[in-house]
Amino acid sequence: MGRGERDAIARGARLYEAAQAVVADRSRAVEAVKAALKPIHDAAVKRELDAIPVARLQDVTEGRLRLGNVETSGLRTVGHVLEAGPYRLRQIPGVGQRTVDQMLAAARRLSEAAHETVAVHIDVDRPEQSTTALVMALHVLVEAGPDARRAVDRATALAERLGPLLVVARPAAGRIRILLAGREKKARALTAVTAIRSLVDEAEHEGLDRLIAQASVDLLRPSSDLAAWTDFELRSAEYYSLLAEISGRLPDAAAAEGFLPDEIAERVRTQYLDDAHRRVSLRGYQAFGARFALAQRKVILGDEMGLGKTIQAIAVLAHLAAEGQSHFMVVCPASVLVNWTREVEARSALRVMVLHGPDRHYAFADWKGRGGVAVTTFDALRGFPEPGGGEVGLLVVDEAHSVKNPKTKRSQAVAVWADRCERTLFMTGTPMENRVVEFRNLVRMLDDDVADSLGERDVLAGSVAFRKAVAPVYLRRNQEDVLTELPALQQTDEWEELSASDEEAYREAVRAGNFMAMRRAAYMRPARSAKLDRLREIVQEAGENGHKTLIFSNFKDVLGVVEEALGTRPAGGAPVFGPISGSVPAGRRQQLVDDFAGVPGPAVLLAQIQAAGVGLNMQAASVVIICEPQIKPTIEHQAVARAHRMGQVRPVRVHRLLATGGVDERMVRMLEDKTRLFDAYARRSAVAEATPDAVDVSDTELARRIVEEEQARLGMTDARLTTSE
């Protein structure tokens, strides 16, 4: 027995202690969230119970209680009854002990139900000490990210294996111990030492020791209220996802699993999901969606907008890459091409490349040789050679309803690729339940048998029958079913690549040195406007999901272009109101808002951002589109606040349309730091809320800088320079 055995045991003990420590570090971080959440949740439950009239106790007891004297005594709500307690209730004339017992039992049942169902909403505009503590506690875990969770999971498994081995190997840790050990005990100790050495070597080879050490550092890193609130505003969905997981208030399992039949749901649940190449945590329903795509191989993911279909697709790509697949193809409208590349880069460790534009065939050849995630458009796909069997690990088709007509060339191209790929993932947020013919066309690209079995009778029999018929290939979840801790505000930057026509209009504006013309150039040639195409897609999807949409721009002529592009009733049947501008009298503005709100179902309201940013309440809307970035963040915040405010019962989804490589990108980059400081400090100021100019993060010099830089980038050093019209 020599130094080698003692060193192996010492290495194993150090790794075991580190593994236990990181598990304890995360447990403490989780407990900190629970401790911060409890008083907020208890207060929310109390508010809920204080709003339930005492008459509801009759419903719980099937009308057996007589509550007239209770109400006249001043106890008007269920919350009041619980606060009063048995002694106070017994003092009410005509209320006996049996009534008291029944009343309190019924009130406690309602209280238990409230504790299970009441969700906590974090108000970023009114931060309190309690919510700040919660956001700071969550910030530690969100910042630590998926790597910390991965480290804890692997550390837990490692500790479970190392712990018993270290106990058995203990006699080999010293000369005297091993001498005093019997033959059998000595043999077991030496076998354990060999196993410990193998485990430690394997862990070090895989970098698990470094992963554990980094996770402990991340989980112990202190958080500041400023950093936490700023980060919360940037990625609130991750905070709410973590909050739902820790609080245990998870969505109904059947709803999260899209009401799939038991046999399919069980197969999906047991599907392993590898996260080695993924940089983002998934909500439970998102993990199920990724597993569904893997288990069923060729599917349609039809989740409602805002539920993270792209994240689920990336999770599938990451899993297949971990299994050894090397080539993937994403097909999408040109309007979301840039978003896809940015999302893949940000959310995974996968190589991504764009197959678009004049060099797309060179890019395709490069992708064929080196692999990765290729992102292309429907039109470009038609020009690429068809893949060989097994060559492409996954074909992803975004906005798949675009290929519902089998007679179009784009549909035929997608059908060929889907047939040649072993796995295909169609994505669409458009509900398909009432479009059997169109839906059957999509399904046929994936599974002929399911398509043949799908008839009009399935829809006539109701959505349950429809879901059962299409369950092998179709999964859809709605926000209200799966988001228990509902983010009040979800913000998405929609990056678009300018079309050739857009680019030409933009260069003319840059050459003229006209900053304002540069900002709206992307809309000035509507027939080939990338931003306008994406705007129409968002409006259509919102309308088909029953949502009302607000569209803001700084420019009246941009709103005019949008109005003409949408027509009086865009796809989805939503009527269009406005535009509201500075020249519209105040009374007329309010009438337009009232008409917009009064429409049952979807509608669209156009508004100039400064004219509508103050004084009008538009909480009927749950989708907001901002046509271009604003110079002052205050203007943007106040416009969004017209919809996202008291009385808004749905989450608000904000889409900011941005063009790559020009004025939008420069504005976003130059204003980003100042905007974060503004969000953290000034936005919580009553003065800043009341006056957009209270905190001015921009000035004429910023516009001048952007114009000069763009002229230099485009080789226009002899061009004129102006910053206003």
Higher pLDDT, 241 or 532: 532
pLDDT of residue 142: 92
pLDDT of residue 693: 37
How far is the C-alpha of 236 from the C-alpha of 231, rounded, in Å?
8
Contact between 370 and 397 under an 8 Å Cβ cutoff? The reply is no
pLDDT of residue 673: 53
pLDDT tens-place string over residues 628-682: 998 876 677 767 766 655 344 467 889 999 999 899 998 888 766 554 443 433 3
Query: How many Cβ atoms sit within 10 Å of the Cβ of residue 222?
Result: 8
- Beta-sheet pairing, 652-659 with 604-608: unpaired
Contact between 57 and 24 under an 8 Å Cβ cutoff? The reply is no
How far is the C-alpha of 650 from the C-alpha of 487, rounded, in Å?
9
Determine the residue type at 78: V
Res. 174 pLDDT band, cuts 50 70 90: low
Q: H-helix or E-strand containing 481?
A: helix 479-482
Bridge partner residues of 656 (DSSP)? 493, 626
Q: Coil, strand or helix: which one is 183?
A: helix
Q: How far is CA 617 from the centre of its chain?
A: 26
Average pLDDT over residues 31-45: 93
Average pLDDT over residues 154-174: 88
Nearest to 286, CA basis, from 258, 253, 311: 311
Nearest to 531, CA basis, from 578, 497, 503: 497
Percent of the chain at pLDDT above 90?
A: 44
Lowest mean pLDDT among 386-390, 426-430, 571-575: 571-575
**Assigned token pair, 628:** 């271009």
Q: H-helix or E-strand containing 99?
A: helix 97-117
Res. 725 pLDDT band, cuts 50 70 90: very low
Contacts of 506 (CB under 8 A, 6+ apart): 498, 518, 521, 522, 659, 662, 663
DSSP state of 278: B
pLDDT at 489 over 80: no
Q: Omega of the bond prior to 251 within 30 degrees of 0, cis? A: no
pLDDT of residue 690: 36
Contact between 723 and 703 under an 8 Å Cβ cutoff? The reply is yes
How far is the C-alpha of 237 from the C-alpha of 15, rounded, in Å?
34
Higher pLDDT, 623 or 320: 320
Average pLDDT over residues 315-329: 97
Q: Say what the pTM is.
A: 0.64
Q: Which long-range contacts (CB under 8 A, 24 or more apart) does 590-597 make?
A: 590/616, 593/617, 593/618, 596/548, 596/620, 596/621, 597/548
pLDDT of residue 18: 95
pLDDT tens-place string over residues 555-607: 999 999 999 999 866 545 689 998 988 888 766 877 888 888 888 889 999 99
Percent of the chain at pLDDT above 70?
A: 84
Average pLDDT over residues 498-514: 93
Higher pLDDT, 113 or 639: 113
* Mean pLDDT, all residues of the chain: 84
Nearest to 55, CA basis, from 40, 72, 39, 31: 72
Res. 362 pLDDT band, cuts 50 70 90: very high
Average pLDDT over residues 160-181: 77
pLDDT tens-place string over residues 125-159: 678 899 999 999 999 999 998 889 889 999 999 99
Res. 432 pLDDT band, cuts 50 70 90: low
Higher pLDDT, 214 or 725: 214
pLDDT at 485 over 80: no
* Helix 97-117 vs helix 3-50: crossing angle, to nearest 10: 120
Average pLDDT over residues 359-387: 95
Q: Which residue has the tokens 């106040």?
A: 638
Lowest mean pLDDT among 26-35, 450-459, 650-659: 450-459
Beta-strand runs (E) in 229-324: 298-301
DSSP codes joined into one string, 354-400: EE-STTHHHHHHHHHHH-EEEEEEHHHHTTSPPPPTTT-SEEEESSG
Q: Domains along the chain?
A: 1-249 (no CATH), 260-482 (3.40.50.10810), 489-713 (3.40.50.300)
Higher pLDDT, 511 or 454: 511
Burial of 583 from C-beta contacts in 10 A (0-12 / 13-18 / 19+): exposed
Nearest to 329, CA basis, from 418, 404, 412: 418
Lowest mean pLDDT among 157-161, 177-181, 376-380: 177-181
Bridge partner residues of 492 (DSSP)? 655
pLDDT of residue 663: 93
Lowest mean pLDDT among 119-123, 384-388, 614-618, 631-635: 614-618
Contacts of 368 (CB under 8 A, 6+ apart): 327
DSSP state of 461: T
pLDDT tens-place string over residues 59-92: 766 666 677 778 778 888 889 989 988 888 888 8
